[in-house]
Amino acid sequence: MTLRKEAFLTAFSQPAQCTSSEEFTKPDAFFGANVFGLEAMRKRLPSAIYAEIEQTIEEGKRLNPALADVIANAMKDWALEHGATHYTHWFQPMTGQTAEKHDAFLSPYQKGHGINEFSGKMLITGEPDASSFPSGGIRSTFEARGYTAWDPSVPAFIIQEPMGSTLHIPTFFYSYSGEALDRKIPLQRSIQALSSQALRILKLFGNTKAQYVRPMVGPEQEYFLVDARLAALRPDLILAGRTLLGKASPKGQEMNDHYFGAIPPRVLSFMQDLEHELLLLGIPAKTRHNEVAPGQFELAPVFEDANSACDHNMLTMNMMRLVAARHGFVCLLHEKPFLGVNGSGKHNNWSLCDSTGQNLLNPGNTPQDNAQFLVFLAAVLQAVHEHSSLLRLGTIGAGNDHRLGSNEAPPAILSVYLGEEITDVIMHIIEPNSAQSSHKQAMEIGISTLPPLPKDSSDRNRTSPFAFTGNKFEFRAVGSSQSIAPVNTALNAAVADALDTIASALEAMVAKGASIQEALQTFLPQCFKEHLPIIFNGNGYTQEWVHEAKERGLPNDNTSVAALGRLTDPAVMQVLTKFGIFQEREIHARMDILYENYANTIAIEGRILLDMLQTQVMPCVRKALGEAASSCHAVRTLLPESDNSAEESYCSTLQQELSSLHASCETLKQVLAQTEQQQTVRAKADNAQTHILPAMAACRLHADALEGLLDDSLWPLPHYAEMLWVH
Ligand code: ADP
Ligand code: MG
């Protein structure tokens, strides 16, 4: 029996792996048990110190460094009680992954003795030998130091392992000269910018109670599970996280029988185990279900402030891979693991919440609340309209390019779906007497009440990249493997910029003696009218929309390389530097890192494919061809009178496909070498996109045809049908 068949048979009969523990059924009891959060701190810190750290966490106040020793000591005691032997500064470098370097608490003391040590300094700063992380040229090799700094606004946590646990301290990562080398610093800066600008609007409405405004984020995470024994036979899945060849399964997603179907028992026990781990870490896992493609699933948490949501999503992705392995699965977070069925995304649900708990994107019950809602709505429309290129930059990546705009995910064109009711309100504000509007009487902003708006309109438009869904916006173009930090940084920056211009306009009118209602009555119709072109409630998957969007002047950068080119556009640079979210130098560095990452990703895929074709596919085709040719020859000599045309034609088809595959491989080799020789990262990325990707597609065409022609017992790679349908 071939390795492939053996793996398939074991995978097929694999029972669900259940750890029956009563603990699992009491999530309220263990939620957050491995987190050094407010609850744990209150118990262990002197009340004055607790009050200070609480303010840091809740209100973002700067922490007095003098308190670090006391906090570190309490944190250490707590960690030791939880079985920790080591601690690590946990950070998010530009690799797209998280990074950690563990240090033992134990320090040698006298001969044969040791003590557990953890000081305030060890808590606050670290200096990992981080010279190999991407810096885009910010650190020259002689000054390669990178530093980590504690982010006290999100709690430290423990990752449990059977042989000892590790205390993880969330940190920022920056260079010797203070430039951001991670994704958390720009996100944090954008959150602050957004808060200051939003408070200006609240102040105009007479709200002096709110101390801050925070973006709230709920990321819905899609993923695939593949049996580990099958995945182990596919170098493409192991090294690239996606299949680079593979004939479509005769049964795909056309019956929609997987979507929201009963969760297979083996998958369900993976989900339960995963949720247990996430809840221990204080990650509010909430929803689980089968997704559209066979083998595809989704996990959604309850929304949190953007900083926590971003950390938690990174942790969730790590945990998914880890727990999957425990259950004999490989978890694929890639945006397009399988051609021909849906890929995976990450819907980034986003809203604004002030310190009193008010959701600023909630249409209110009073005229005053409604007027305020309309201002924030206008700001989001303006943000998406004016900073579409910036927002698109939050979703770039070689993986996501396979998905955006391919009739399964929103197009790369950004538009906003508002639904009929709100669009109608806006039309009425622009043109009170228009025939289009269903509102009979004139609406005075801030005086009359908005008509009741449906909180949860059922006909939500799934084809829109940016949809208003009742009291939040859902940005759907994010890729499943991507950190949500860049997209939220972009969104916060764009909305902060819009709020800034809106606040300035309104403040000027109020300064001249207008009431806020009067100011809005003049301002909102103009503002909505100007940004009307960004509203699109129709089907975003059609070709007509692509044409119409062009007429409306909306950018359509449908590849990452094109989108990335916009990073240094003056308008993009301006909004990022204006609020100090990035310095110019950081932007240029990031651009280089992203080009390089893109080029490397594709070049690696090209090399994997070439290897698989040369060492796995072509040898087995040659073998098949040899067998077929000799049987043809035998028939021809022994039975010269018989009709042998079917066999002859089979042989010649195999021969032709093999020659074409061989020729395509030669081209792939050439373009890989040519990309390697390019002098700049941008040229490498360009070359990868325009030459390597088409060369890979040409190879795949022949390989997939051969997969459908060959004796199945010869084919070494697990088929799509086996990987997608066995759970
Ligand atoms: P869907 O129908 O798209 O799955 P859900 O209502 O289930 O939408 O919500 C999906 C995600 O949106 C969840 O993570 C949820 O916590 C998050 N969410 C709900 N309300 C808000 C909000 N006000 N701000 C941000 N995220 C939110
Ligand atoms: Mg959703």
Look at residue 630 and tell me if it is in a domain.
Answer: yes
Question: Rounded CA gap, 693 and 677, in Å?
Answer: 17
What pLDDT, in 10s, does the model give residues 681-694? Answer: 999 999 999 999 99
> Does the beta carbon of 215 lie inside 6 Å of ligand 1?
no
Tell me which of 242 and 175 has the higher pLDDT: 242
Window from 15-24, 320-329, 367-376, 645-654 with minimum mean pLDDT: 15-24
CATH of the domain at 319: 3.30.590.10
Instruction: Among 310, 342, 374, give the residue marking a domain's end.
Output: 342
The answer to whether the CB of 624 falls within 8 A of the CB of 713 is no
Residue with tokens 């049987």: 631
Together in a domain, 128 and 147: yes
* In a domain? residue 188: no
User: Residue 366, by phi and psi: left (phi above 0), alpha (psi -120 to 50) or beta?
Assistant: beta
Q: Where is average pLDDT lowest: 453-462, 518-527, 593-602, 681-690? A: 453-462
| Same domain assignment for residues 531 and 613 | no
Tell which atom from ligand 1 comes closest to the C-alpha of 362: 23
CA 303–ligand 1 middle distance (angstroms):
7
Share of the chain above pLDDT 70, in %: 95
Confidence at residue 142, expressed as pLDDT on a 0 to 100 scale:
53
In ligand 1, the atom with minimum distance to the C-alpha of 361 is: 23
Q: What is the mean pLDDT of residues 127-133?
A: 77
Lookup result for tokens 């902060």 = 496
Ligand 2 centroid to residue 242 C-alpha, Å: 24
Q: CB of 304 closer than 6 A to ligand 1?
A: no
Could you write out the DSSP letters of every residue in 518-574?
Answer: HHHHHHHHHHHHHTGGGB--S-TTSHHHHHHHHHTT-----SHHHHHGGGGSHHHHH
Same domain for 23 and 36: no
**Residue 195 in contact with ligand 1 by CB distance below 6 A:** no
Evaluated on CA atoms 365, 366, 370, 372, the torsion sign reads negative
Q: Is the dihedral of CA 572, 576, 578, 582 positive or negative?
A: negative
Place of tokens 């940004």: 531
Comparing C-alpha atoms, which of 523, 17, 471 is closest to residue 274? 17
Ligand 1 mean position to 348 CA, how many Å?
9
| Closest by CA position to 167, among listed 100, 120, 107 | 100
pLDDT digits (tens, 9 = 90+) for 474-504: 999 999 999 999 999 999 999 999 999 999 9
Calculate how far, in angstroms, residue 104's C-alpha sits from the geometric centre of ligand 2: 42
In the structure, what pLDDT confidence band is assigned to residue 264 with cuts at 50, 70 and 90? very high
Instruction: Please indicate, yes or no, whether residues 9 and 91 belong to a single structural domain of this protein.
Output: no
Q: What is the pLDDT of residue 341?
A: 94
pLDDT tens digits, one per residue of 176-219:
888 999 999 999 999 999 999 999 999 999 999 999 999 999 99
CATH code: domain of residue 56: 3.10.20.70
- DSSP bridge partners of 222: 298
Query: Domain limits at 525?
Result: 345-581
Going by pLDDT thresholds of 50, 70 and 90, the confidence category of residue 410 is confident
Q: How confident is the model at residue 402 (pLDDT cuts 50, 70, 90)?
A: very high
Tell me: pLDDT of 435 over 60.
no
Q: What's the pTM value of the predicted model, to 2 decimals? A: 0.95
Q: Report which protein residue has its CA nearest ligand 1's atom 24.
A: 351
For atom 16 of ligand 1, which residue has the closest CA?
302
**Residue nearest ligand 1's atom 13 by CA:** 218
Dihedral over Cα of 479, 481, 482, 488: its sign:
positive
Q: Are residues 370 and 385 in the same domain?
A: yes
Query: Minimum-distance ligand to the CA of 219?
Result: 1
- Name the least confident of 143-152, 534-543, 629-638: 143-152
* 23, 78: one domain: no
Structural domain contains residue 211: no
Q: Is residue 702 part of a domain?
A: yes
Q: What is the CA radius of gyration of the chain?
A: 28
DSSP state of 400: G
Q: Per-residue pLDDT averaged across 147-160, rounded?
A: 94
Q: Ligand 1 within 6 A of 471 CB?
A: yes
Average predicted confidence (pLDDT) for the chain: 92
Among 548, 581, 614, residue at a domain's last position: 581
Q: Which of 489, 513, 612, 542 is nearest to 185 (CA)?
A: 489
Mean pLDDT of 496-514: 97
CA distance 335 to 341: 11
Is position 160 within any domain? yes
Would you tell me how many other CB atoms lie within 10 Å of the CB of residue 615? 11
User: Are 165 and 89 members of one domain?
Assistant: yes
> Which positions ≥6 away from 123 have C-beta within 8 Å?
68, 71, 72, 75, 150, 169
pLDDT at site 622: 97
Q: Count of CB atoms within 10 A of residue 554's CB? A: 19
Max distance between CA atoms of the chain, in angstroms, equals 106
My answer on whether 672 and 608 are in the same domain is: yes
Q: Do both 332 and 351 map to the same domain?
A: no
Classify residue 197: in a domain, yes or no: no
> Ligand 1 in contact with 351 (CB < 6 A)?
yes
The rounded distance, in Å, linking the Cα atoms of 613 and 717 is 11
Average pLDDT over residues 64-80: 93
Give residue 367's pLDDT band: very low, low, confident or very high (50, 70, 90): confident
Which ligand has the shortest distance to the CA of 306? Answer: 1
Whether 254 is in a domain gets the answer no
Between β-strands 165-175 and 84-90, what pairing exists: parallel, antiparallel or unpaired? Answer: parallel
Question: Is 303's C-beta closer than 6 angstroms to any atom of ligand 1?
Answer: yes
The answer to whether the CB of 472 is under 6 A from ligand 1 is yes
Cβ(399) to ligand 1 under 6 A?
A: no
pLDDT for res 520: 94
For the domain that residue 691 is a member of, what is the CATH number? 1.20.120.1560
Do both 385 and 337 map to the same domain?
no
pLDDT greater at residue 187 or residue 162: 187
Q: Is the pLDDT of residue 136 over 90?
A: no
pLDDT of residue 269: 94
Q: Residue 277 — pLDDT band, cuts 50, 70, 90?
A: very high
pLDDT digits (tens, 9 = 90+) for 439-478: 545 566 666 666 666 555 545 678 899 999 989 999 999 9
CA–CA distance, 577 with 493 (Å, rounded to integer): 10
pLDDT of residue 451: 61
Ligand 1 close to Cβ of residue 216 (< 6 A): yes
73 and 94, same domain (yes or no): yes
Instruction: Indicate the residue among 182, 198, 231 that finishes a domain.
Output: 182
Q: Say how many Å lie between the CA of residue 695 and the centre of ligand 1.
A: 41
Atom of ligand 1 nearest to the CA of 220: 14
Per-residue pLDDT, 458: 42
Kindly state whether residue 266 falls inside one of the protein's structural domains: no
Q: Tell me how far the alpha carbon of residue 8 lies from the centroid of ligand 1, in angstroms.
A: 38
Is 312's C-beta closer than 6 angstroms to any atom of ligand 1?
no
The alpha carbon of residue 552 and the mean position of all alpha carbons in its chain are separated, in whole angstroms, by 28
Helices (H) and strands (E) in the chain, counts: 25, 18
Task: Decide if pLDDT at 110 tops 90.
Answer: no
The residues, ordered by sequence, that sit 6+ positions from 445 with a Cβ below 8 Å of its Cβ are: 370, 371, 374, 429, 517, 520, 521, 524
Number of domains the chain is built from: 4
**Shared domain check, 356 and 235:** no
Is residue 218 in contact with ligand 1, taking CB distance under 6 Å? yes
